[in-house]
Chain A
Amino acid sequence: MSTSVITAESLAEAPPAVGQRRWAALLRATMRQWRSRIGLALFLFMTVVALAGPLIAPHAPTQFVTAPNSPPSSQALFGGDVLGRDVWSRFLYGGRSVLGMAVAATIIGVGLGLVVGLTAAYLKGAVDEILMRIADVFMAFPQIVLALLLVAAFGPSVPLIILIVGISHAPRVARVMRGAGLQVVERDFIKSAEAVGEPRRRIIFGELLPNVTSPLLVEVGLRLTYSIGLIAALNFIGDGIQPPTADWGVMINENRLAVAFQPWGVVLPVAAIALLTIGTNLLTDGFARAMLGVERGE
């Protein structure tokens, strides 16, 4: 899914440049690329559709307005779904849950990974070994398998899905942040902070974190992309949002049997998920490329 060419190591090697000027330069370099512009446009468009959709939906998502699997008509713009609800309205309602859950899972995953990764990078030694080996164990499972396993154990629920997806991201984020952090902890300003007795927590979040913000942002974009896909998949399988709630993943599952004669119920949510992930990924990729360029001094 990812087209990213960036590794944690290549990000962290380049010496960080300036504060505000640097962000302005990064932003300009990002937006100079077509991939980022298209990515941003897609992402913004899909976000608006997901957030504002319910406001413009002609019907309630659970209201029966037409015959099951009926073709597009004046009542239902994209026809009826498997139970005769308006596909268009369910589509407009169904984005909030995917996007909201994905964002929440990303925040949890990146936050946890960031703390673990930077702690491992700063403390080194046994702590580093233990944290990273635990991460290795988690990473040995494919994310979706891990998620299914945990859902099977604890039962389907939205908060649990968010937590599980977040946790399954954490080790990957941790590894990248540790790599980025290792390059920084060797520098004298960290020693300088130690010499004056700055608390460890402050060294990690006050001194180290501001120097790894670029790889962190790339991780946010990357994990958001994966979260959208993963959460849509879990909802599709039926482990997340439960029918009759409108959700893109749920919609695909509900309408997939009728795809031959009423494709809209599947095509709309599939296209939405695809455009959203392509958008976030293009944007992330553009940012990562810009970052390498800026830090090489181009």
Chain B
Amino acid sequence: MSAAEQNTAVAIRELKIDLASSGADIVEGIVLEVRAGEVLGLVGESGSGKTTVGMALLGYARPGGRMTGGEILIDGRPLSAMTSGQLRQLRGGTVSYIPQDPGTALNPALRIGRQLSEMLDVHAPGTSEEARRARLRETLEEVALPADEQFLARYPHQLSGGQQQRVAIAMAFACRPHVIVCDEPTTGLDVTTQARVLETIRDLARSHRVAAVYVSHDLAVVAELADHVAVMYAGRIVERGPRDVIFMRPRHPYTRRLLRAVPDLAGKRAVIGIGGRAPLPGHRPSGCFFAPRCDLAIDRCREHFPESTEFEAGHTVHCYRAEDAPDEVPTTGAPSPATQAGETVVTVEHVNASHGKKQALFDIDFSVLRNECVALVGESGSGKTTIARCIAGLHSNYTGDIKLDSQRLAQSARHRTTQARKQIQYVFQNPYASLNPRRTVGQTIARQLRLFFPVNRGETARRVGDLLERVALSADAASRYPDQLSGGERQRVAIARALAAEPSLLVCDEITSALDVSVQAAIVELLRDLRIQTGLSMLFITHNLALIRTIADRVLVMTEGRIVESGPTTELFGAPSADYTRRLLANTPSIEAALGQVAAPSE
């Protein structure tokens, strides 16, 4: 065994996992290697099979799945040859796992100290009480948590989300694993917390020479953390290689499009979405799975799935057009146009709002002009959604004035005039919950039309068709139910519903946070076009700073119920004045910052 092979902690060879019921492949042909001390970023959008591969390293096939081919070697030992007892010892011992949501991974009924020591009991039995205590302390110190009795006696619900995640990380590293699988462990966390958690994972992986597989949809996070990157699409790895190569000289058209969909903190380019949607298991085409959405596809792409081609050391691509891909001229999307803002549409004056007895907003003061996009940015709990709900009349426990065209609005939507309700439209964060599942898309939009306009049946049908077309959906979507649509399509329906009222202000509450980046980019493009066409004003609420850069004219930064900074987007990003804004900017993961340069492909 050569030195290089000895170093390989994880090797996956031609892994194939099928759906047990239909035999459709969930993932196929997965080839990966991770060396000790290295972080592999496994990147893909939802449904790409990245979590399936991650779980396979723990010897699990996902529910309804079955491993039907290939091999997984951990420290050179094949998982398939292990007994269930050996697998149990492997999980948590040799291979450990950091879950996406620590809130559900920690037992809510057990104290932190108990949970941590249980972990040590299982995988390092027989050690003395003294040694175990020392180990426990060491483990907690590694993740920058206090190791005193008081902390160990706490229950998971008494910790913040970031602390919970660090406890989960401590548990994962406690038994000195050789391999660690992280399944989007920072998804639910604020950027500040995320930055600390990522740093902890990176430092621990390096210092303990652990091979880490970091599963994520967030390219910026992966750019900051990973040494190698593998990009997954529809159950296959389409491209893998060293981080710098993947981010700076990507060759697979999917990787290239994906990178262009990621909003850029430097604000040099507009995001461009990817049309269409990834094929599901059982519905995958015979050729390259990306061919139907690929501008470069040729006949050959539609016939056979491309074999891997190696370009430089360790950089392999599954694409017939990989040679030509870098020459592809990007469909240019200019950054959001500087729009001519008009008179004031909505003014928020001295608003103080409470949730029960707890005050959530303190003296909020701002206005939105016609044809302007104002971004409201803040971390979770900053009160940004509360403001949005006050404006929309969904949160009525506030004092102060909210004015529409200088007319004071009643607190609750119920007491507002029809005209006021029509002018302010709200788009919700989660398109899976904001559409009535028992109504077709057409019924949902038609209802909105009938509420605000005296329209007859034929006219309604025509306008529903028009609205769907404006949000780039085909007219036959009208007869579909929401669960027959993808997340992005649902969000388009929600936008169409809002547009049906012909509003002057669109309140968008984190409308892309439940969506994949390529879909997010497409929605952002749509909103930009709508603004140009209709002169709509927008209040865009988000926690994603990079996204603001591509969409907003003006930014309000919120924390703990107060606006700490506001100003034109370019100025605020160029020279933030509040400490909080600076910290937020510094902690926001960015591909450019990670690579130490601006790295838009083909530029």
Cross-chain contact of A195 among B418, B421, B436 (Cβ < 8 A):
B421
Q: Is there contact, CB below 8 Å, between B481 and A198?
A: no
A16 in contact (CB, < 8 A): yes
B433 in contact (CB, < 8 A): yes
B416 in contact (CB, < 8 A): yes
Known: A189-B435, A211-B437. A196 touches B501 (CB 8 A): yes
**Of residues B424, B425, B426, which shows the largest number of chain A Cβ atoms within 10 Å of its Cβ?**
B426
Q: Is there contact, CB below 8 Å, between B483 and A210?
A: no
Q: Is there contact, CB below 8 Å, between A211 and B436?
A: yes
B428 in contact (CB, < 8 A): yes
Known: A17-B483, A196-B421, A210-B436. A191 touches B414 (CB 8 A): no
User: B436: which A residues are within 8 A, CB to CB?
Assistant: 189, 207, 210-211
Distance between B206 CB and nearest chain A CB, rounded to angstroms: 42
Q: Is there contact, CB below 8 Å, between B484 and A197?
A: no
Q: Is there contact, CB below 8 Å, between B413 and A195?
A: yes
Q: Is there contact, CB below 8 Å, between B394 and A191?
A: yes
Secondary structure of the A contact surface, majority rule: helix
Total contacting residues, chain B, CB less than 8 A: 32
Number of A-B contacts (CB under 8 A): 69
B393 in contact (CB, < 8 A): yes
Q: Is there contact, CB below 8 Å, between A192 and B428?
A: yes
Distance between B264 CB and nearest chain A CB, rounded to angstroms: 30
Cross-chain contact of B433 among A17, A19, A188, A196 (Cβ < 8 A):
A188
Q: Is there contact, CB below 8 Å, between B433 and A187?
A: yes
**Of residues A16, A188, A207, which shows the largest number of chain B Cβ atoms within 10 Å of its Cβ?**
A188
Per-residue interface assignment for chain B, residues 393 to 416, with 1 indicating a CB less than 8 Å from any chain A CB and 0 otherwise: 110000000000000000001101
Q: Is there contact, CB below 8 Å, between B394 and A18?
A: no
In the docked arrangement, what's the CA distance between A196 and B392, Å?
Answer: 9
Cross-chain contact of A210 among B428, B429, B439, B452 (Cβ < 8 A):
B439
User: A18: which B residues are within 8 A, CB to CB?
Assistant: 437, 481, 483-484
**Of residues B413, B422, B430, B440, which shows the largest number of chain A Cβ atoms within 10 Å of its Cβ?**
B413
* A8-58 contacts to B (CB < 8 Å): 15-19, 21
B200 in contact (CB, < 8 A): no
B457 in contact (CB, < 8 A): no
Per-residue interface assignment for chain A, residues 181 to 210, with 1 indicating a CB less than 8 Å from any chain B CB and 0 otherwise: 000000111011011111000000011001
B448 in contact (CB, < 8 A): yes
In the docked arrangement, what's the CA distance between A15 and B425, Å?
Answer: 26
Q: Is there contact, CB below 8 Å, between A188 and B428?
A: yes
In the docked arrangement, what's the CA distance between A26 and B434, Å?
Answer: 24
In the docked arrangement, what's the CA distance between A188 and B490, Å?
Answer: 13
Distance between B334 CB and nearest chain A CB, rounded to angstroms: 33
User: B429: which A residues are within 8 A, CB to CB?
Assistant: 188
User: A197: which B residues are within 8 A, CB to CB?
Assistant: 413-414, 416, 418, 421, 451
In the docked arrangement, what's the CA distance between A17 and B482, Å?
Answer: 9
B438 in contact (CB, < 8 A): yes
In the docked arrangement, what's the CA distance between A248 and B266, Å?
Answer: 83
User: A196: which B residues are within 8 A, CB to CB?
Assistant: 413, 421-422, 425, 448, 451-452, 501
Which residues of A are in contact with B by a Cβ distance under 8 Å?
A: 15-19, 21, 187-189, 191-192, 194-198, 206-207, 210-211, 213
* A–B Cβ pairs within 8 angstroms, 9 of them: A17-B437, A18-B437, A19-B438, A21-B481, A188-B428, A188-B429, A188-B430, A191-B434, A197-B421
